[in-house]
């Protein structure tokens, strides 16, 4: 039976992963480049249902943090948690995105933006979970 992890840590990790996206795509300036690569205009972005968009994004971050916490609960220290978060982001999630982008014929630039984000996202989630688990 899987022991339940610290749910406060999971919520905090999900929130942190969510905030990384805000910083990555706005403060670090990748948002405009991302919009160019995806063809999403300012007008189209303003038409999005923000409750659905941000609510869905947080829910998916929550699920990702939960599964990462379930794995890390099996006696991993802080450095393991950070390293595993990095490995998940860079070697599982980003590479999966990369395979899709190859077949969808999307640009290397878009892959680097989104792959970079998930790498940082999962590394930070691993750090937060490693501090609390």
Give the angle 40-49-90 at the CA atoms, nearest 5°.
60
DSSP class of residue 42? H
Q: What pLDDT score was predicted for residue 103?
A: 97
User: What are the structural domain ranges in the chain?
Assistant: 7-132
Q: What pLDDT score was predicted for residue 9?
A: 92
Distance CA 97, CA 71 (A): 22
Using alpha carbons, select from 4, 5, 3, 24 the residue that is nearest to residue 123: 24
Q: What is the mean pLDDT of each successive set of 10 residues along the chain, which is 133 residues long?
A: 73 95 91 94 92 95 94 84 96 97 97 97 96 86
Contact 125, 13 (CB under 8 A): yes
User: What predicted TM-score, i.e. pTM, was given to this entire model?
Assistant: 0.91
């Amino acid at each position: 039976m899987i022991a339940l992890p610290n749910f406060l840590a999971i919520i905090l990790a999900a929130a942190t992963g969510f905030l990384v996206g805000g910083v990555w795509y706005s403060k670090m300036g990748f948002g405009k480049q991302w919009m160019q690569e995806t063809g999403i205009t300012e007008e189209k972005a303003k038409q999005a249902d923000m409750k659905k968009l941000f609510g869905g994004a947080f829910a998916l971050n929550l699920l990702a943090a939960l599964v990462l916490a379930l794995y890390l609960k099996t006696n991993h220290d802080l450095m393991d948690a950070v390293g595993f978060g990095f490995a998940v982001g860079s070697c599982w999630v980003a590479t999966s995105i990369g395979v899709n982008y190859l077949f969808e014929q999307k640009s290397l630039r878009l892959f680097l933006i989104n792959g970079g984000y998930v790498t940082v996202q999962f590394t930070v989630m691993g750090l937060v979970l490693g501090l609390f688990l």
